[in-house]
């Protein structure tokens, strides 16, 4: 049924880069066989899923949305992929994304943009626009995203889906093509809070193949998703994440949701996180620095397309020609910024300062979590913007990632839950919940109370 749905709508939505028809049907048959053989599989066995094309999977292409990796087949499964297959989840195919997960609209994909199912003229957000759009358009009930600065949560907000960024280290990054290793975190995408939690539970847990993986039990996310209970919970509204630059319809939906939580017995408090103001500046130094290093491996010798290998060019020229042709403009921009920020004499001024801000943001969170069990804000200042739209409001654009980035810098857990449509444009609005590291279950408590 989901393959039929993909056939019916994906020519318009373009959520998928690759649909693995035969592989998916084969996986479904093998789930039947495992059950017939008496194996006890979990609740998502046989349920289809869309996999962001940044995760390796044996037998299908992995491109990370880049021409650089066109035709690349990974020789191993990512830990996330392997856990899904072990649980009997059926992987339908690979979803579109901004190139190497750099972007907020999926328009940086080397293979064309994905369209928002609510309005085909709008973006589904990014970088995981394909995963969110596939779930919103009922092409798949589940998807996997990765969140370095908001790439699960912002597309969730733009498409009316649930997206969770687990605590850093909660889900293995092994086999995820790295963007910024100290920020990257895979996570679940679905249409309901319980589906999201069930998927979270499958992919989470310690992995010796990822040196930053947490070696401790996953928080009780499924129980929390079933609880629906926020009575007595202290919910902190972050002063700095609202006001100027936020669309009226987004603020209204946010305010209604906070009132709803108060009606359900939560205690609403106001908290201030003064250093969040610097989060975006710090992020756009740390991320380029790390990605300039991570993307050095795409030099056409070990990985990546090879250009100019005709016997007339030196190996170094082949690397230059290949990187010049394979990478898109945004990727080149960030590699150049990162290389500059890490160069001798500038390291302390840029990367060093950004790391200090990172510590200050962590302290803001620590202080805020003394006063509140979770923090909340809109996920994004506006609803989905138009495809190709050149915004004439730089402040709104600048602030697009502002709410989501602090959690990546601090490594704590956060999520976006759909809370209805904006009265401005009848597009979905996301409610952003942030919890302390290792307390991912609190996100699901709040999300389940809102459903
Ligand atoms: N929009 C952010 C960026 O462009 C987020 C990316 C991400 O989370 N992968 O870096």
Residue nearest to ligand 1 atom 5, measured at CA: 149
For the chain, the first-to-last Cα distance in angstroms comes to 26
What's the pLDDT at 50? 98
ipTM of the complex: 0.97
Residue nearest to atom 10 of ligand 1 (CA): 102
> At residue 408, does pLDDT exceed 80?
yes
Task: Give me the helices (H) in 295-342, please.
Answer: 315-326, 329-342
Minimum mean pLDDT range among 102-111, 205-214, 386-395, 402-411: 386-395
The reply to whether 416 belongs to the active site is: no
* Pocket flag, ligand 1, residue 290 (CB < 6 Å): no
Residues sharing a CB contact under 8 Å with residue 308, sequence separation 6 or more, in sequence order? 317, 318, 321, 322
pTM for this prediction: 0.97
Question: What is the position in ligand 1's atom list of the atom closest to the CA of 330?
Answer: 4
The predicted-structure confidence for 239-254, as pLDDT tens digits, reads as follows 999 888 899 999 999 9
Identify the active-site residue in 104, 105, 151, 407: 151
pLDDT of 237 > 90? The answer is yes
Q: Give yes or no for a contact between 106 and 66, defined as CB atoms under 8 angstroms apart.
A: no
Q: Is 287 in the pocket of ligand 1 (CB under 6 A)?
A: yes
Active site residue 151: yes
Distance 36 CA to ligand 1 centre (A): 43
pLDDT above 80: residue 71: yes
Token readout for 301 is: 């010798």
Whether residue 345 is predicted with pLDDT greater than 50 in this model: the reply is yes
Quick check: 278 pLDDT over 80?
yes
In order of 230, 335, 362, the CA distances from 340 in angstroms are 47, 8, 26
Average pLDDT over residues 264-276: 98
Measured from the Cα of 287, ligand 1's closest atom is 10
Residue among 211, 13, 32, 205 nearest 112 (CA): 13
Q: What percent of the chain has pLDDT over 70?
A: 98
pLDDT of 60 strictly over 50? yes
Name the pLDDT band for 398 (thresholds 50, 70, 90).
Answer: low
pLDDT of 21: 98
Q: Please write the tens of the pLDDT for every residue from 153-192.
A: 999 999 999 999 999 999 999 999 999 999 999 999 999 9
Mean pLDDT value across the chain: 95
Rounded Cα–Cα distance for residues 379 and 154 (Å): 6
* Domains annotated on the chain, with CATH: 2-225 (3.90.1300.10)
Average pLDDT over residues 273-280: 96
Which residues, in sequence order, are CB contacts of 260 under 8 Å at separation 6+? Answer: 450
The ligand 1 atom at the shortest distance from the C-alpha of residue 126 is 1
pLDDT given at position 394: 36
Is residue 395 over pLDDT 60? no
- Contacts with 154 (C-beta within 8 Å, 6 or more apart), sequence order: 104, 125, 126, 379, 380, 400, 401, 404, 416, 430
Examine the residue annotation and report whether 131 is marked as an active-site residue of this protein.
Answer: no
Each residue of 291-309: pLDDT tens digit? 999 999 999 988 888 999 9
- Which residue from 330, 260, 302 is spatially nearest to 75, judged by alpha carbons? 302
Predicted confidence at residue 396, as pLDDT, reads 54
* Active-site residue, selected from the candidate residues 66, 104, 109, 127: 127
Find out whether 399 and 243 touch, Cβ atoms under 8 Å. Answer: no
Q: How far apart are CA 381 and CA 95, in angstroms?
A: 25
What is the arithmetic mean of pLDDT over 319-341? 94
Q: Is the pLDDT of residue 397 over 80?
A: no
3-class secondary structure, 89: coil
Cα radius of gyration (the chain): 21
Residue 399 pLDDT exceeds 90: no
């Amino acid at each position: 049924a989901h393959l039929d749905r993909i056939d019916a709508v994906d020519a318009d939505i373009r959520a998928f880069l690759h649909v693995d028809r035969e592989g998916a049907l084969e996986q479904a048959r093998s789930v039947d066989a495992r059950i017939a053989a008496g194996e006890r599989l979990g609740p998502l066995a046989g349920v289809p899923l869309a996999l962001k094309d940044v995760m390796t999977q044996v037998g299908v292409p992995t491109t990370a949305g880049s021409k650089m990796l066109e035709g690349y087949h990974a020789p191993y499964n990512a830990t996330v992929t392997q856990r899904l297959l072990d649980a009997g989840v059926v992987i339908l195919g690979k979803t579109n994304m901004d190139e190497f997960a750099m972007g907020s609209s999926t328009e940086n994909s080397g293979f064309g943009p994905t369209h928002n199912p609510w309005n085909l003229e709008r973006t589904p957000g990014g970088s995981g626009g394909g995963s969110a759009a596939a779930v919103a358009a009922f092409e798949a009930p589940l998807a996997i995203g990765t969140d370095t600065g908001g790439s699960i949560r912002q597309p969730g907000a733009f498409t009316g889906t649930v997206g969770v960024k687990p605590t850093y280290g909660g889900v293995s990054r092994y086999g995820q093509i790295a963007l910024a290793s100290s920020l990257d975190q895979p996570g679940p995408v679905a249409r309901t809070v319980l589906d999201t939690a069930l998927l979270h539970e499958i992919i989470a847990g310690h992995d010796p193949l990822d040196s930053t993986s947490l070696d401790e039990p996953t928080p009780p996310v499924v129980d929390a998703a079933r609880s629906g209970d926020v009575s007595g919970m202290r919910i902190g509204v972050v002063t700095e994440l609202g006001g100027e630059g936020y669309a009226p319809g987004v603020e209204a939906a946010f305010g209604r949701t906070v009132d709803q939580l108060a009606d359900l017995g939560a205690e609403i408090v106001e908290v201030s996180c003064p250093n969040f103001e610097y989060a975006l500046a710090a992020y756009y130094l740390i991320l380029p620095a790390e990605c300039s290093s991570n993307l050095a491996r795409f030099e056409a010798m070990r990985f990546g397309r090879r250009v100019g290998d005709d016997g007339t060019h030196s190996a170094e020229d082949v690397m230059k020609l290949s990187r010049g042709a394979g990478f898109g403009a945004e990727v080149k921009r960030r590699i150049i910024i990162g290389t500059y920020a890490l160069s001798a004499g500038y390291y302390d001024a840029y990367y060093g300062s950004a790391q200090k801000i990172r510590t200050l943001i962590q302290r803001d969170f620590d202080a805020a979590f003394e006063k509140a069990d979770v923090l909340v804000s809109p996920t994004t200042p506006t609803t989905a913007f138009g495809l190709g739209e050149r915004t004439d409001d730089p402040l709104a654009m600048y602030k697009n990632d502002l709410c989501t980035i602090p959690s990546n810098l601090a490594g704590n857990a956060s999520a976006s839950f759909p809370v209805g449509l904006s009265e401005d444009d009848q597009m979905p609005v996301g409610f952003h919940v942030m919890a302390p590291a290792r307390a991912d279950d609190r996100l699901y408590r709040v999300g389940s109370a809102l459903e």
